[in-house]
Amino acid sequence: MFEQLEKFEKRYLELEELLASPEVLANKEICNRYAKELADLREPVSLFRDYKKVSQEAEELRMISGQKHDLEFLDLARKELKELESKKSELESRLKIILAPEDTDLGRDIIVEIRQGTGGNEAGLFAADLYRMYTKYAANKGWSVELMSASTNDSGGFKDVAFSVKGKEAYKRLKFESGVHRVQRVPVTEAQGRIHTSTATVAVLVEPQELDLAIDAKDLRIDTYRSSGPGGQHMQKTDSAVRITHIPTGTVVACQDERSQIKNKAKAMRILRARILDNRQQEEMKRFSQERKSQIGTGDRSEKIRTYNFPDRRVTDHRINFTSHRLEAVLEGNMDELSDALIKAAQEKKNE
C-alpha cells in the first residue's frame, strides 16, 4: 500500500510542475486531463502526508520517552503517544478504503425508488420525507436529480416515487439505502398523541447502459391511457400516460408525470431496464451465499435496515449498530455521517 502511495505522491508533484509549465497551459485538452488526474490524487496524497507526519511525530516521541525524564513528563508523553497512534490508525484505515478496489458500478448513475409500506397514509408521508431527505442530500453534494414517476395518497404523501440521481459518488454513498426504513413518531392525524410505527421501502438501482441489458421489443406490452393529473387548463386531452409490461418477468412500470407520451415512455423504459437488471443481480447474489456474507446486511429488499425515532431524535442503522442523535440534520440531507459509517463498515468486512 505504501509503495503505491509513494508513487501517487511522486506523480502528484510531477503534475503540479506540468500544470505550471507554459506548454501545458497552452493546450487546453492536456491541461484539463492533468488537472483531473491531480484532483483525483489530492485526497490520497493529502492523507498519506498526514500519515507520514503523524508517524514521524510518534517515532520522535518514542525516542524522547526512552531517555531519562521525570515521571510527569513521561506520563504526558505516553498520553500524547497514545493519541498519535490512534490518529495514525485512523489515517491508515481511511487510506485502505481509498485504495481498495472499487465496485465497478460506483461511477454509474442510479434510480431510486421509494414506496410506502405499512402504516397507511402516515407511511406515505414518511416516504415523502425520505424523498425530501435524498433530494436535499443530492443538492448538498451537487448531484442532479430528475423525478421520473410519482403516485400520491390522500394525505399528500407518496404511494411510490422514482427519481434518477447523477453525480460523482452518488452510487457509492447511496448504495446501502436499499431496504425497509422504519419511522416511530406521532402522526399528524393522531388526536391522542400516540406513537405509531410506519415503514417505507427504498430500492437503489444502477441505471443500465445499452451494453448491460438487451430487451427485445417483442417481449414488451405497451399500453397508453389518460393521465390522472390536475384538471382545468392542465387537464390531459390525450393518452399521454404509459404503462410498459416486460412479459417474460412480469415487470410493470407506469409513467404519467410528463405531458408527452414519448417522454413518459422513455422514462418508463429507463425504470424498467433498471428493475430487470437489479432483479438479475439479486438472483445472482443469492447463488453466491459466501459473497453475500461479506455484504453490509443481506441486500434483501425486505430487510429492516434503519429506524428514525422522533421522540428520542435518533437515527439507528441496524446493520452496523450505528446511532446518530442528529435526526433533524439527517432528514435535512446531512447524511455523510451515516454513509461514511456504512462505507467504512463494508470495507472492514471485505478485509476480514
Residue pLDDT, tens place only, 147-157: 988 898 888 89
- pLDDT for 178 equals 92
Which pLDDT belongs to residue 212? Answer: 58
* d(C-alpha 236, C-alpha 224), whole Å: 13
Query: Of the ranges 22-31, 262-271, 287-296, which one carries the lowest mean pLDDT score?
Result: 287-296
DSSP letter string over 192-260?
Answer: T---EEEEEEEEEEEPPPTTT----GGGEEEEEE------GGG---S--EEEEEETTTTEEEEE-SSS-
**Number of other residues whose CB lies within 10 A of the CB of residue 30:** 14
pTM to 2 decimals? Answer: 0.60
pLDDT given at position 225: 81
Q: How far is CA 66 from the centre of its chain?
A: 48
Q: Is the pLDDT of residue 347 over 80?
A: no
Cell of 116: 410506502
Phi, psi of 111 (to 5 degrees): -120, 130
Cα separation, 287 vs 266, whole angstroms: 32
pLDDT band, very low/low/confident/very high, at 230 (cuts 50, 70, 90): very low
Instruction: Tell which wins on pLDDT, 224 or 134.
Output: 134
Q: Which stretch, 120-124, 154-158, 305-309, has highest mean pLDDT?
A: 305-309
Band of pLDDT at residue 295, cut at 50, 70 and 90: very low
Q: What's the CA gap between 352 and 350, in Å, rounded?
A: 6
Max avg pLDDT among 31-40, 63-72, 136-145 = 136-145
| Strands of the sheet with 241-246, listed across from one edge | 220-225, 241-246, 251-255
Q: Which of 6-10, 97-101, 122-126, 201-205 has the lowest mean pLDDT?
A: 97-101
Residues 329 and 348: beta-carbon distance below 8 Å: no
Whether residue 317 is predicted with pLDDT greater than 90 in this model: the reply is yes
Average pLDDT over the chain reads 83
Closest CA to 276 of 308, 310, 251: 251
Residue 324 pLDDT more than 70?
A: yes
Q: Name the 3-class secondary structure at 347.
A: helix
- Predicted confidence (pLDDT) per residue in 49-99, tens digit: 998 998 888 888 888 777 766 777 777 878 888 888 888 888 888 787 777
pLDDT band at 100 (very low <50, low <70, confident <90, very high): low
Q: Is the pLDDT of residue 172 over 70?
A: yes
